[in-house]
Structure 1
Amino acid sequence: MIEEDIEPTGGGQAWERIDFHAHLLPDFYREALTAAGEGGPDGMSSAPDWSVAGALDMMDRTGIRFAVLSLSSPGVHFGDDAAARRLARRINEFGATLVAEHPDRFAMLATLPLPNVDGAVAELEYALDVLHLDGVAIESNARGLYPGDDAMRPVFDALEARSALLFLHPTSPPNSGSVSFARPRPIVEFPLETTRAVVDLVLSGVIGRSSRMRVLIPHGGGALAAIADRVATLAPALMDLGGVDVVAELGALFYDLAGIPVPRQLPSLLELASTDRLVYGSDWPFTPVPIIETMAAAIQVTDLLSDPDRDNIRWRNAVTLLPRLAELTRW
């Protein structure tokens, strides 16, 4: 259990962190990836190794007290709706068992079999209402279906009705082969996909009508901070926004700092969102441990942040975003 005599402070140890961006890849999922021809997902040479023991060891070595797990790209849908529903159910039940076995170390965000919307709503209801998982993770697009599409409204209605946490993770765009130049998509396409999907959610009105749903955007929001003013200025001039305040809605979202936020991304993100909207993320196992350690240290020492800011990022906002953490720690 998390020691009761440790309470993070601005001058405390940097390893006292809650990780909102960590992934699981159980063996049966890796087998499904290989069978679907996705053994090297998103242009990478292979999927990284993962195990429960390996995750706990990494957390202990890098000072992560608690990790919120989700399935990464390419998700569970490889062309067959029924197979996607079965794989999503297996992932979610695996995650529920893992949380039950390690309630003081892990939370789990549900996987949905999108773009099968009916199946996704059914799985969301099962995952949140029966398994009691901690939220839902979806991808920036599901085989070309973007989250702002009207077809996705039943999913967002179900999330809003439950005041649920939504984590929006990037995946390859539908035309990735023609725009990535055969390079791994996490290098450039993932941050651009995140940007595209979130702007779509704002301009389509999904964020504006979802006042109860909590939304977490990974990798510092991709390029959102860099183009926020462009979207806010040009969109009303070129289309009917119905009163959408682009900058305000983007600033009300939560952002994790997985990736490389320091030194160049974080300054612009801080112009868009306050530090009470930022959380820590490792992106393990897709990010190697040495980079995780380097980036955590960079966040800890950057002069862009005060000690209270660092507390917000390391643990305080995570408790706000996932209230059950307050029951497990004295934070």
Structure 2
Amino acid sequence: MPTSDLVDVHAHVLPDWYVDAAKAAGHTVPDAMPGWPDWSVDAHLAMMDQVGITQSIVSISSPGVHFGDDDAGTALAVEVNDFMAGLHTAHTDRFGFFAALPLPDVDGAIAEARRTAGVPGRAGVGIESNGHGTYLGDPSLEPLWQELSAQRAVVFIHPTAPPAFDPALVGFPAPLLEYLFDTTRTIVHLATAGVLVRHPDIRFVVPHCGAVLPSMISRVELFRAAGMISGEGDLGWERLWFDLAGAPLPDQLGAFTRRFGADHLLYGSDFCFTPAGAVDMLAAMLDQGWPEEHGEWRKVVGANATNLFKDALHPAR
């Protein structure tokens, strides 16, 4: 097992009762993927030991906890968050969690953010790239940003299918392409709405090595300069944090580091939606192909995680 203080900020729990609730709400498969993966605590810990992950900050993946009904979404968020808090209690040095928020129910999201704020193991909150078509720069979310700013919260953004996604028309499951574009869409929405600058105490974590954001920023700035979109002054791009989930090598990482460097880069496995064998393979690719000018990747992302979370996490030593 490789030795490092590697913190995995993009990893998912998938208890059977959550899958049952999602299926009952019509999500028979997650975003047109072939099926729901298996997950267990023992399998998660075994993957961590194999890859050399000290601690996983777990979250719920797409489609989140809000399936169309506010009350049911709040109840499922409470159940999910209490489960993840219990996982931390049972394995204090191995698991933290991002609390699920039932967006687009803003009041319910604020209530759950407050309820979980002092819960041991909470490293921040997790939200989807859109809540039934409400993207993260929408003015309706401003009360939530005010609350999370007061908490100085880390906000982990996870992609979900865009509104009206139809795999029969697209031909692919949403995670292949739509996740990357929906992530980029919502981050640009956040930035041009001024949220990143207005709430500098919120630390937003963008998944999948920035998705396609690094190659799109110059286009956004061009449209902004031409007066075709809103946004004034510094949009706050440099305040963002990013994870390495997905397939950053051999192509994506170079474009990312040219634009953002490596100071805000974190590790992400995307387990259990990425199988343990693939997680191990991707980590080995980073071991072999990480750009040498940025230092040893495990040390870099480990130090970055320590910097981001500070006292929120207590990895085993």
- Normalising by the smaller structure, the TM-score range is over 0.9
Cα distance in structure 2, aligned partners of 1:134 and 1:71: 14
Q: Equivalent residue for 2:48?
A: 59
Residue 250, structure 1, aligned to residue 221, structure 2: no
Q: Classify 1:208/1:312 alpha carbon distance in 2 versus 1 (closer, same or farther; 3 Å).
A: farther
Q: Equivalent residue for 1:229?
A: 218
Q: Classify 1:302/1:325 alpha carbon distance in 2 versus 1 (closer, same or farther; 3 Å).
A: farther
Residue 187, structure 1, aligned to residue 176, structure 2: yes
Select 2:248's aligned residue among 261, 266, 284.
261
Q: Classify 1:314/1:151 alpha carbon distance in 2 versus 1 (closer, same or farther; 3 Å).
A: same
Q: 5 Å matches for 1:205-244?
A: 205-239=194-228, 241=230, 243-244=232-233
The question of whether the paired residues in 2 share the 8 Å contact of 1:110 and 1:133 is answered with yes
Answer with 124-133 or 53-62: which moved more.
Answer: 124-133
Residue 171, structure 1, aligned to residue 160, structure 2: yes
The question of whether the paired residues in 2 share the 8 Å contact of 1:76 and 1:88 is answered with yes
Describe the superposition over 1:260-290 as per-residue Cα deviations: whole angstroms up to 9, x where unpaired. Answer: 1011111110122121110111000001222
TM superposition score normalised by structure 2: 0.94
Q: CA deviation at 1:155?
A: 0.9
Cα distance in structure 2, aligned partners of 1:265 and 1:111: 28
What is the identity, as a one-letter code, of the residue corresponding to 2:284?
A: A
Cα distance in structure 1, aligned partners of 2:172 and 2:315: 42
Q: Equivalent residue for 1:137?
A: 126
Q: Equivalent residue for 2:186?
A: 197
- Point out where structure 1 has 5 or more consecutive residues left out of the alignment: 1-11
Q: CA deviation at 1:252?
A: 2.4
Residue 270, structure 1, aligned to residue 262, structure 2: no
Answer with 201-210 or 296-305: which moved more.
Answer: 296-305
Describe the superposition over 1:193-216 as per-residue Cα deviations: whole angstroms up to 9, x where unpaired. Answer: 010000000000000111111111
Answer with 56-65 or 178-187: which moved more.
Answer: 178-187
Q: Classify 1:244/1:177 alpha carbon distance in 2 versus 1 (closer, same or farther; 3 Å).
A: farther
Q: How many residues align?
A: 317
What is the identity, as a one-letter code, of the residue corresponding to 2:279?
A: I
Structure 1 SS opposite 2:134: coil
Structure 1 SS opposite 2:263: helix
The question of whether the paired residues in 1 share the 8 Å contact of 2:95 and 2:121 is answered with no
- Point out where structure 2 has 5 or more consecutive residues left out of the alignment: none
Cα distance in structure 2, aligned partners of 1:57 and 1:132: 20
Q: CA deviation at 1:64?
A: 1.4
Cα distance in structure 1, aligned partners of 2:254 and 2:193: 28
Cα distance in structure 1, aligned partners of 2:63 and 2:313: 32
Cα distance in structure 2, aligned partners of 1:140 and 1:241: 20
Structure 2 SS opposite 1:43: coil
Select 1:298's aligned residue among 285, 289, 297.
285
Identical residues among aligned pairs (%):
40
The question of whether the paired residues in 2 share the 8 Å contact of 1:22 and 1:281 is answered with yes
Structure 2 SS opposite 1:201: helix
Q: 5 Å matches for 1:51-90?
A: 51-90=40-79
Q: Classify 1:94/1:182 alpha carbon distance in 2 versus 1 (closer, same or farther; 3 Å).
A: same
What is the identity, as a one-letter code, of the residue corresponding to 2:268?
A: G
Q: CA deviation at 1:326?
A: 6.5
The question of whether the paired residues in 1 share the 8 Å contact of 2:97 and 2:124 is answered with yes
Q: Equivalent residue for 1:39?
A: 28
Q: CA deviation at 1:39?
A: 2.4
What is the identity, as a one-letter code, of the residue corresponding to 2:309?
A: L
The question of whether the paired residues in 2 share the 8 Å contact of 1:111 and 1:136 is answered with yes
Structure 2 SS opposite 1:69: strand
Cα distance in structure 1, aligned partners of 2:116 and 2:54: 24
Q: CA deviation at 1:244?
A: 3.0
The question of whether the paired residues in 2 share the 8 Å contact of 1:232 and 1:245 is answered with no
Q: CA deviation at 1:31?
A: 0.9
Select 2:90's aligned residue among 91, 101, 113.
101
